[in-house]
């Protein structure tokens, strides 16, 4: 019996007992509490200056965005945009010539010329009109209207404050027109070279030497390489973050150390590389020498910060202005498509003006405010309000009675969505109270098992204990763990002589590698491996090819993508076949076919013996580049299974016993395999979930990426003819890998064609068996049985529905009774 069913039975019994015992005394109303934990409490939830994830989590209770993403159909995985603070958001660019002329262009004539250039399908994408809901209020009853957002915007962009989060609104894709000029008026400042979606400095030709230092040719202003500054190119991380995380796996460490030796590591100039000729050459050498990082010296421009100079300005020149009491316009600095604009509007810059100003401190060089740092200077316009705060111990949130989404029913605040999920409106924000305690991991685990926490994140070593638990939730990631090979015969012969392998030459035969793949029972493999799910292809179900326009646009669910994998594994479907439809055939695939694996191993054996490469019956030992750190217990379990699988596959083939050995403590396993130190490596590729058409580059473009399998082939010269229907074209693998992105040959082709090309490439590449997909990585946590999410199926757009749509299976009293009945400990295994 599943534990969740048992719990619901007990809950029903507890409720029945309460009903029977009810007499004249009026029972206390049920309460529902969500209990969380953190290693440290948040310290700053001011929306203008917050920094940490803990800070952001507090803001999620006290505020809300103009819009958010929510599930529409959890079975199909459909999402929807829903309106929260806003009643509507509309692109009004076509009717805003005056605003465009004032904030974006040099007058209305230029603005009208832009508008005249638009085709009928382009609404303009500059001016978005935000109409607010009626009855928006702060927790103290103060009314929120369009003026509130304009005044909060002035404070956000105050040039005397230089607020940390102001950069979201003066820089990047969703920057407000005129905001940067206002914030930095009368000064000079450095910014990411990739600001506003394009490079200000595009290459060496944009530089000139002055007194031994490169400056911008156009204006003589400064420039430096940012080693430890947030970079848009790196998704907000710094180059140092990546070097610290991956070290020699991705970077040439001597080159990095040579660069760092040229900078200060403390103070205002920390990790700023002055752009002398020598220093620029050192940095280019770092990129050229770091083959796994996948870049060349010409890519230095992605890591540059450039200086800009700003004249005096007024807030009247900022593209944020009132239309009426509940409406204001937001003018983008550069055009932004609606889907990306909506992403920008999932949060807000709103502050309580009176409380914000009352906490301003002007004694320092910059004006600051203590707003949003303790109980007394915190305001809420979200579903919860901060009720108590004990430093370094606990935060407690309770319902905000003035939040627009609540109604009072039988004296209790409740809320129901204005949108439908699975065809009906559903309760939202079920917790009456949210409690966050400061706990160590060990203490959190103990409290969770004692029923005193709603969720817990097990360590990697603990996860295997909960693999079959009803409480385990796994968040899929785009990364696919695979074996990758250097299986060219001459390379393997060298490894057999010098690198500790014995007869690894068997890997040179494709049938051996294919038999190895089909012999792996991935369903069993992942049960011994924390936080993994089986994988049979390069790309998992998180990849969308047109996500903003079509919630069904999963690449993996497209007919070409399914057909590619069905063809790879030789599954037949149709009339008189084992499966009636393509979908049924695809869903049947598990990557495991022991009889076919044995046939392939026999085929490989006979060919290798006939060619004098292998002597029948001899032992085979192959070392696998497995991990950066020491080999862990779960990794030993993985390898034990792999040895079981491979020896079952070779049974009766003529091959001698095969032993795989996992090697850890490797600084650069991704580089060690193509370098000929290992025949097999274990690692992952992932990312770019919303544009899978670019992802073949990591497998076939050695000029952009450190191709793991480059020891086996040269995709720069090997050609491939892609043909289907009436389409046929021949290019190198490298050219094909970039043909669907950037300035590639087919980048502007219809999605239908691009899907067929990508699927063709995926199948042809997997059929080389240069790489064997094994498992998809996940992030995992346990959710207590007191609650459940609206769906158990993770979706990249809305997760599991989140706290907003969380459901309680037990009231606090019923849960306490159940925990007591179970001896004060819940079995989640």
Asked whether 774 and 712 are in contact (CB, 8 A), the reply is no
Sorted by where each starts, the structural domains of the chain and their CATH numbers stand as 3-46+53-62+372-470+787-821 (3.40.190.10), 195-309 (no CATH), 474-777 (3.10.105.10)
Instruction: Compute the C-alpha angle 675/513/588, nearest 5°.
Output: 130
Instruction: List Cβ neighbours of 737 (8 Å cut-off, separation of 6 or more).
Output: 696, 697, 699, 700, 701, 715, 761
> Which position has the token pair 């080389």?
768
Q: What is the DSSP letter of 266?
A: S
d(CA 224, CA 43): 32
Q: Which of 103, 124, 253 minimizes the C-alpha distance to 179?
A: 103
Q: Which of 82, 133, 102 minimizes the C-alpha distance to 327?
A: 133
Please list the rounded mean pLDDT of every run of 10 residues in the chain (829 residues). Answer: 28 31 60 95 95 92 97 93 98 98 97 95 95 97 98 97 93 91 94 76 94 94 94 84 84 95 87 96 94 86 94 97 98 93 95 98 93 97 98 96 95 95 98 97 96 92 82 90 97 97 98 98 85 91 90 93 98 94 97 98 98 98 94 90 98 98 91 95 90 93 88 95 97 95 89 97 98 92 97 92 97 97 95
pLDDT for residue 705? 83
First to last CA, the chain: 13
pLDDT for residue 27? 64
d(CA 655, CA 620): 8
pLDDT for residue 52? 86
pLDDT for residue 1? 22
User: Chain centroid to CA 537: how far?
Assistant: 20
Q: At what angle do helices 559-569 and 751-766 cross, to 10 degrees?
A: 20
Asked whether 330 and 126 are in contact (CB, 8 A), the reply is no
d(CA 565, CA 583): 11
pLDDT for residue 530? 66
d(CA 315, CA 169): 14
pLDDT for residue 638? 93
Q: Which of 746, 772, 802 minimizes the C-alpha distance to 515?
A: 772
Instruction: Compute the C-alpha angle 164/168/172, nearest 5°.
Output: 130
Q: What are phi and psi of 474, to 5 degrees?
A: -120, 125
């Amino acid at each position: 019996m599943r534990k969740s069913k048992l719990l619901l039975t007990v809950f029903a019994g507890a409720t029945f007992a309460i009903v029977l015992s009810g007499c004249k005394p009026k029972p206390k109303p049920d309460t529902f509490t969500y209990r969380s934990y953190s290693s440290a409490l948040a310290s700053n939830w001011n929306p203008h200056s917050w920094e940490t994830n803990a800070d952001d989590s507090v803001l999620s209770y006290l505020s809300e965005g103009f819009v958010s993403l929510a599930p529409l159909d959890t079975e199909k995985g459909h999402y929807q945009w829903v309106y929260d603070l806003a009643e509507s958001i509309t692109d009004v660019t076509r009717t805003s010539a005056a605003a465009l002329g004032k904030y974006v262009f040099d007058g209305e004539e230029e603005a009208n010329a832009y508008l005249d250039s638009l085709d009928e399908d382009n609404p303009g994408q500059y001016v978005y009109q935000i109409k607010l809901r009626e009855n928006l209020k702060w927790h103290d009853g103060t009314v929120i209207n369009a003026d509130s957002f304009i005044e909060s915007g002035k404070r956000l962009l105050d040039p005397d404050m230089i607020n940390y989060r102001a950069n979201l609104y003066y820089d990047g894709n969703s920057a407000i027109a005129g905001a940067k000029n206002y914030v930095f008026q009368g000064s000079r400042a450095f910014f990411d070279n990739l600001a506003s979606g394009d490079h200000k400095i595009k290459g060496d030709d944009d530089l000139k030497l002055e007194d031994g230092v490169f400056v911008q040719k156009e204006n003589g202003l400064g420039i430096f390489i940012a080693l430890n500054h947030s970079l848009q190119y790196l998704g907000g991380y710094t180059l140092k973050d990546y070097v610290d995380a991956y070290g020699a796996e991705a970077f040439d460490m001597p080159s990095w150390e040579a660069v760092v030796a040229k900078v200060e590591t403390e103070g205002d100039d920390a990790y700023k590389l002055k752009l002398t000729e020598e220093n620029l050459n050192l940095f280019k050498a770092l990129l050229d020498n770091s083959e796994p990082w996948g870049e060349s010296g010409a890519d230095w421009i992605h890591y540059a910060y450039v200086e800009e100079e700003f004249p005096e300005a007024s807030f009247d020149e900022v593209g944020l202005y009132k239309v009426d009491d509940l409406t204001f316009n937001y003018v983008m600095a550069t055009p932004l498509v609606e889907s990306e604009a909506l992403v920008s509007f999932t949060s807000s810059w709103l502050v309580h003006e009176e409380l914000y100003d009352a906490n301003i401190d002007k004694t320092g060089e910059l004006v600051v405010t203590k707003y949003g740092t303790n109980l007394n200077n915190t305001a809420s316009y979200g579903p919860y309000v901060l009720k108590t705060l004990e430093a370094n111990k606990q935060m407690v949130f309770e319902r905000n009675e003035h939040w627009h989404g609540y109604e009072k029913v039988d004296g209790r605040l409740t809320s129901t969505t204005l949108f439908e999920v699975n065809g009906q409106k559903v309760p939202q924000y079920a917790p009456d109270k949210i409690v966050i305690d400061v706990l160590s991991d060990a203490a959190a685990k103990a409290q969770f098992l004692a029923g005193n926490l709603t969720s817990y994140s097990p360590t990697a070593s603990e996860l295997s204990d909960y693999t079959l638990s009803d409480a385990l939730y796994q968040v899929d990631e785009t990364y696919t763990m695979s074996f990758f090979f250097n299986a060219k015969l001459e390379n393997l012969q060298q490894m057999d002589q010098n690198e500790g392998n014995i007869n690894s030459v068997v890997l040179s035969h494709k049938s051996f590698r294919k038999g190895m793949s089909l012999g792996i029972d991935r369903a069993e493999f992942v049960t011994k491996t924390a936080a993994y799910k089986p994988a049979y292809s390069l790309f998992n179900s998180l990849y969308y090819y047109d996500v903003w326009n079509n919630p069904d646009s999963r690449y993996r669910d497209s007919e070409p993508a399914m057909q590619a994998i069905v063809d790879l594994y030789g599954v037949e479907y149709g009339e008189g076949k084992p499966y009636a439809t393509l979908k049924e055939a695809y869903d049947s695939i598990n990557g495991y076919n022991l009889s076919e694996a044995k046939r392939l191993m026999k085929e490989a054996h006979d060919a290798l013996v006939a060619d004098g490469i292998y002597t029948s019956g001899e032992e085979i030992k192959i070392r696998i580049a497995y991990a950066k750190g020491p080999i862990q217990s779960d990794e030993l379990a993985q390898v034990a299974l792999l040895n079981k699988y491979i020896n079952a596959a070779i049974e009766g083939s003529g091959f001698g016993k095969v032993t795989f050995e996992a090697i850890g403590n490797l600084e650069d396993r991704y580089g060690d395999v193509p370098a000929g130190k290992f025949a097999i490596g274990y690692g992952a590729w992932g990312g770019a979930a919303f544009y899978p058409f670019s992802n073949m580059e990591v497998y076939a473009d050695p000029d952009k990426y450190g191709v793991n399998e480059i020891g086996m082939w040269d995709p720069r010269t090997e050609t491939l003819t892609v043909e289907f229907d009436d389409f046929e074209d021949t290019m190198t693998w490298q050219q094909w890998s970039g043909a669907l992105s950037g300035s590639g040959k087919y980048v502007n082709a219809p999605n239908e064609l691009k899907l067929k090309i990508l699927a063709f490439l995926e199948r042809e590449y997997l059929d080389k068996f240069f790489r064997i997909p094994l498992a998809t990585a996940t992030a995992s946590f346990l959710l207590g049985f007191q609650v459940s999410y609206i769906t158990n199926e993770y979706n990249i757009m809305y997760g599991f529905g989140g706290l907003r749509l969380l459901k309680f299976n037990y009231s606090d009293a019923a849960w306490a009774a159940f925990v007591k009945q179970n001896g004060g400990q819940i079995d989640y295994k």
